[in-house]
C-alpha cells in the first residue's frame, strides 16, 4: 500500500469513527465508505457521499447528517486541511498534499516493482488465450486476443495473482486432416501436377510455402509412399511447421506461454472417455438416437449436447470437457478463457460442464473479445480465411510496428468492436496515441541525460520542494498507479492501463511545458524535479511493460 492508499484508508476510518460517534448508524448498519475524487477541484481532493447513504438509516436529511459527521470528525489526522459540506450532502475534504512527496522515494526505490500489490493474494489463475488452430497464419482477431490476453496476464501477475499462461493446440480434429490434404494438394501443384484443393482446404500462402519447400527438398520422392503414409507425413510436417510459426510470430509480438497443451495428448493419454464416464456416474449422460448426450440443460443451457456422435467419434465438446477437467485437476482456483466473439454461444455449455464436474460455474470465466474491423484508406478491408487473403499478424507487425499494434489492441474495452485504422497506427504523427506516451518517456530520458552531463546528481534530493500545482497533479497521478492496476486486474480490463499511461503522459507534458526542470541557478529545486521525473519515467515504463509496449530512450 502506498502513501496515497494509506491516506485514503485513514480518511475512511476517520469518517467511520465520526459516524459512530454521531450515533447515526451502528457498526452493523454501516455502509461501505466510498471516497471519490471529484472532477471539480472546488469540491476538494476527496469527497464522500456517506451522508446520503445514511439518510434512510438515520432518518435525517443528508445535509444534517453531514453536519453531524463533520462535527465529530477528527480533523487533526489524515492531512486534512479543511472540510466542506456541499450539494445534496457531499462532504468534501481538502488535503494538504505535501504527503504526496513521500511517493517519490518509494517509487525510486521500488523501480520495476512499483505498482505491484497483493490484491490477488496469490490466487492461482490459469489464462488460456489465442489457441488458434495450427492451420494458417494468425490474423487480426488473434492479434487482439493475444494483446488482451498477454496484457491481462501481466496485470494480474502484477496485482499479486499467480498466473499461468496457456495455449490449447487444436491438433486433433478434422481441421488437421484438412491441413494434411491441403499440404498434399499444394505439394502436387508445386510439382506441376494437376490437383484441386480439398473442399474445406486452407488456401493460405503459408501452405503453398510449405509445399514448395517439400517439393524442393524431396522432389517426387514423397509420391512413392502409400497414400496413408503421405497423409501422416503431410499432417505431421504441416503441424510442426504451423506450430513453430505460431510460436515464433507470437514471441515476436512479445507474447509467450507457460504451457502449450496438445489436444492430441488427451487422446493419447486416454483422458476423454473417463471424463465422460465421470459425468455419467453423476447422472448427466444419456443415450439417444445412437449418440451419447450431455444433459447441459440441467445447468441452464438451451439444449442438451452430443458428446459421442452416431459414428462413434467425439464432438468437439468432449475433448474440451476433458481438457477443462485436466485444468481443474491441476489445482487452479480460477480458469479464464479468452475467446473471440464468434464463440460466445459456447459459454453456457462450458459452464454447464464445469458445474457437472462439481465446480461453481464462475470457476470458469470467459472473456469475450469483440471483432476487429480493419480500415485502410478510410475503407473497411474485408477478410476471409478461406481465400487466405486475410491480413496476417506478421504482415501487420512489419507494416505497422509492434508497439502501435499492442497499444491499439488494448486501448478499447474488449467487449467493444474495434476499428483498427491502419493509416493511424502507421502514422508517425501526433495523431497516434502510442507516440504520445512513448514521447513522454523519451522526453524524461533526455532531461535526465542532460542533467547527468551537467554533473547534477540527484541522489540526495528534498522532495518537499515540489510545491507547484503541476507537480502536485503529477504526484497524485503517480499515486493512483497501484490502485489502477488492481482495478484493471479485478475487472479484467487491460484498457484501463492504456488510459492511465495516456493520462500520466498528459500530466507530464503539461508539467514540462509549465516548468523548466533543469535550472542551474537553483540546484536543490532541480534535484527535486529530477527525482520527480525519474519517478514518472519508472511509472510510465512499468505501465507500458504491462501492455507490451517499449519505452524508448529517445525518439
Partner RNA sequence: GUCCCAGUAGCUCAGCAGGAUAGAGCAACAGCCUUCUAAGCUGUGGGUCGCAGGUUCGAAUCCUGCCUGGGACGCCA
Reduced to 3 states, what is the DSSP secondary structure of residue 125?
strand
Q: How far apart are the first and last CA of the chain?
A: 34
Task: Choose the binding region for RNA from 37-45, 114-122, 152-160, 212-220 (rule: CB under 7 A).
Answer: 37-45
Chain position carrying cell 503459408: 206
Task: Choose the binding region for RNA from 240-248, 299-307, 323-331, 352-360 (rule: CB under 7 A).
Answer: 299-307
CB nearer to RNA: pick between 159 and 418: 418
β-bridge partners, 418 = 372
Nine cell digits for residue 536: 514518472
Chain position carrying cell 489464462: 127
**Which residues of 140-268 form beta strands (DSSP E)?**
162-169, 259-262
Binding RNA by CB under 7 A: which of 218, 299, 359, 436? 436
Nearest approach, Cβ of residue 325 and RNA (Å)? 18
Nearest approach, Cβ of residue 253 and RNA (Å)? 21
Q: CB of 369 within 8 A of CB of 145?
A: yes
**Could you say which residues in the range 241-270 bind RNA, by CB under 7 A?**
none
Q: Binding to RNA by residue 545, rule CB under 7 A?
A: no
C-alpha closest to that of 131 among 339, 284, 443, 312: 339
Exposure string for 311-331, b = 16+ CB within 10 A, e = fewer = eeebbebbbbbbbbbbbbeee
CB nearer to RNA: pick between 199 and 217: 199
Q: CB of 288 within 8 A of CB of 305?
A: no
Binding RNA by CB under 7 A: which of 191, 208, 506, 523? 506
CB nearer to RNA: pick between 40 and 194: 40
CB nearer to RNA: pick between 270 and 429: 429
Task: Choose the binding region for RNA from 107-115, 180-188, 206-214, 340-348 (rule: CB under 7 A).
Answer: 340-348
Task: Choose the binding region for RNA from 101-109, 185-193, 277-285, 301-309 (rule: CB under 7 A).
Answer: 301-309
**Could you say which residues in the range 438-457 bind RNA, by CB under 7 A?**
439, 442-443, 445-447, 450
Reduced to 3 states, what is the DSSP secondary structure of residue 256?
coil
In whole angstroms, what is the distance from residue 486 CA to residue 490 CA?
A: 6
CB nearer to RNA: pick between 187 and 461: 461
Nearest approach, Cβ of residue 492 and RNA (Å)? 11
Packed helices 103-110 and 3-21: angle between N→C axes, nearest 10 degrees: 140
Task: Choose the binding region for RNA from 12-20, 107-115, 173-181, 226-234 (rule: CB under 7 A).
Answer: 173-181
CA 531 vs. chain centroid, Å, equals 30
Q: What are phi and psi of 95, to 5 degrees?
A: -110, 145
Reduced to 3 states, what is the DSSP secondary structure of residue 110?
helix
Interaction pattern, residues 42-81, with RNA; x per rule: CB under 7 A: xxx--x-x--xx-xx-----x-------------------
Nearest approach, Cβ of residue 296 and RNA (Å)? 11
C-alpha closest to that of 279 among 302, 295, 303: 295
DSSP label of 299: G
CB nearer to RNA: pick between 102 and 492: 492
Task: Choose the binding region for RNA from 99-107, 114-122, 239-247, 501-509 (rule: CB under 7 A).
Answer: 501-509
Give the list of residues 6+ apart from residue 226 with CB closer than 8 angstroms, or none.
none
**Could you say which residues in the range 121-150 bind RNA, by CB under 7 A?**
133
Q: Binding to RNA by residue 554, rule CB under 7 A?
A: yes
Q: Binding to RNA by residue 517, rule CB under 7 A?
A: yes
C-alpha closest to that of 279 among 303, 254, 262, 304: 304
Q: Binding to RNA by residue 543, rule CB under 7 A?
A: no
Binding RNA by CB under 7 A: which of 164, 370, 539, 542? 370
Binding RNA by CB under 7 A: which of 65, 107, 148, 172? 172
**Could you say which residues in the range 76-105 bind RNA, by CB under 7 A?**
86-88, 90, 92
Total site size for RNA, rule CB under 7 A: 88
Q: Binding to RNA by residue 499, rule CB under 7 A?
A: yes
**Could you say which residues in the range 342-361 bind RNA, by CB under 7 A?**
342-346
Q: CB of 93 within 8 A of CB of 46?
A: yes
Q: Number of C-alpha atoms within 13 angstroms, CB side, residue 155? A: 28
Q: Binding to RNA by residue 231, rule CB under 7 A?
A: no
Q: Binding to RNA by residue 305, rule CB under 7 A?
A: yes
Nearest approach, Cβ of residue 307 and RNA (Å)? 9
Binding RNA by CB under 7 A: which of 26, 77, 256, 313? 313
Q: Binding to RNA by residue 366, rule CB under 7 A?
A: no
**∠ Cα 361 366 368 (to 5°):** 150
Q: Binding to RNA by residue 215, rule CB under 7 A?
A: no
Give the list of residues 6+ apart from residue 3 with CB closer than 8 angstroms, or none.
99, 100, 102, 103, 106, 479
Element (H, E) at 372: strand 372-376
Q: Binding to RNA by residue 435, rule CB under 7 A?
A: yes
**Could you say which residues in the range 394-433 bind RNA, by CB under 7 A?**
412-413, 415-419, 428-433
Q: CB of 341 within 8 A of CB of 368?
A: yes
Q: Binding to RNA by residue 288, rule CB under 7 A?
A: yes
Nearest approach, Cβ of residue 278 and RNA (Å)? 20
Q: Where are the alpha helices (DSSP H) in 454-522?
A: 469-490, 495-514
Amino acid at each position: 500500500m502506498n502513501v496515497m492508499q494509506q491516506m485514503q484508508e485513514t480518511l475512511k476510518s476517520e469518517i467511520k469513527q465520526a459516524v459512530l460517534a454521531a450515533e447515526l448508524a451502528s457498526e452493523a448498519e454501516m455502509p461501505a465508505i466510498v471516497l471519490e475524487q471529484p472532477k471539480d477541484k472546488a469540491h476538494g481532493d476527496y469527497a464522500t457521499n456517506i451522508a446520503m447513504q445514511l439518510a434512510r438509516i438515520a432518518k435525517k436529511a443528508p445535509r444534517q447528517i453531514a453536519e453531524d459527521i463533520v462535527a465529530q470528525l477528527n480533523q487533526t489526522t489524515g492531512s486534512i486541511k479543511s472540510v466542506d459540506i456541499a450539494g445534496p450532502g457531499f462532504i468534501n475534504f481538502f488535503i494538504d498534499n505535501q504527503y504526496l512527496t513521500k511517493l517519490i522515494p518509494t517509487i525510486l526505490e521500488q523501480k520495476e516493482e512499483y505498482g505491484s500489490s497483493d490484491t490477488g493474494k496469490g490466487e492461482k489463475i490459469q489464462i488460456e488465450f489465442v489457441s488458434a488452430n495450427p492451420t494458417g497464419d494468425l490474423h487480426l482477431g488473434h492479434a487482439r486476443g493475444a494483446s488482451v490476453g498477454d496484457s491481462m496476464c501481466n496485470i494480474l501477475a502484477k496485482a499479486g495473482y499467480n498466473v499461468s499462461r496457456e495455449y490449447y493446440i487444436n491438433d486433433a480434429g478434422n481441421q488437421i486432416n484438412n491441413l494434411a490434404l491441403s499440404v498434399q494438394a499444394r505439394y502436387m501443384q508445386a510439382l506441376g501436377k494437376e490437383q484441386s484443393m480439398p473442399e474445406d482446404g486452407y488456401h493460405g500462402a503459408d501452405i503453398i510455402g510449405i509445399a514448395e519447400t517439400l517439393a524442393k527438398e524431396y522432389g517426387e520422392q514423397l509420391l512413392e509412399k502409400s497414400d496413408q503414409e503421405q497423409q501422416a507425413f503431410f499432417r505431421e510436417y504441416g503441424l510442426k511447421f504451423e506450430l513453430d510459426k505460431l510460436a515464433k510470430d507470437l514471441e515476436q509480438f512479445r507474447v509467450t506461454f507457460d504451457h502449450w497443451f496438445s489436444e492430441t495428448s488427451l487422446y493419447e493419454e486416454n483422458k476423454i472417455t473417463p471424463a465422460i464416464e465421470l459425468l455419467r456416474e453423476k447422472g448427466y449422460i444419456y443415450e439417444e438416437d445412437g449418440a451419447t448426450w450431455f444433459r447441459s440443460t440441467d445447468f441452464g443451457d438451451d439444449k442438451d449436447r452430443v458428446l459421442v456422435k452416431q459414428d462413434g467419434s467425439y464432438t468437439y465438446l468432449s475433448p474440451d470437457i476433458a481438457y477443462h477437467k485436466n485444468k481443474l485437476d491441476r489445482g487452479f482456483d480460477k480458469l479464464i478463457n479468452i475467446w473471440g466473439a464468434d464463440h460466445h454461444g459456447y459459454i453456457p455449455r462450458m459452464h454447464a460442464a464445469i458445474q457437472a464436474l462439481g465446480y461453481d460455474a464462475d470457476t470458469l470465466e470467459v472473456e469475450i473479445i469483440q471483432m476487429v474491423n480493419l480500415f485502410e484508406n478510410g475503407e473497411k478491408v474485408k477478410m476471409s480465411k478461406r481465400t487466405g487473403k486475410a491480413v496476417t499478424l506478421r504482415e501487420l507487425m512489419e507494416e505497422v510496428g509492434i508497439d502501435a499494434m499492442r497499444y491499439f489492441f488494448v486501448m478499447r474495452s474488449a467487449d467493444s468492436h474495434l476499428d483498427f485504422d491502419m493509416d493511424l497506427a502507421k502514422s508517425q504523427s501526433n495523431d497516434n496515441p502510442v507516440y504520445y506516451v512513448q514521447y513522454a518517456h523519451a522526453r524524461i530520458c533526455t532531461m535526465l541525460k542532460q542533467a547527468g552531463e551537467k554533473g547534477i546528481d540527484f541522489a540526495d534530493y528534498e522532495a518537499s520542494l515540489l510545491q507547484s500545482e503541476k507537480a502536485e497533479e503529477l504526484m497524485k497521478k503517480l499515486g493512483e498507479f497501484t490502485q489502477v492496476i488492481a482495478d484493471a486486474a479485478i475487472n479484467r480490463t487491460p484498457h484501463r492501463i492504456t488510459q492511465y499511461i495516456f493520462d500520466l503522459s498528459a500530466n507530464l507534458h503539461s508539467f514540462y511545458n509549465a516548468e523548466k526542470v533543469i535550472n542551474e541557478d537553483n540546484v536543490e529545486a532541480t534535484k527535486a524535479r529530477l527525482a520527480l521525473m525519474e519517478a514518472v519515467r519508472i511509472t510510465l515504463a512499468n505501465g507500458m511493460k504491462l501492455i507490451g509496449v517499449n519505452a524508448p530512450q529517445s525518439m
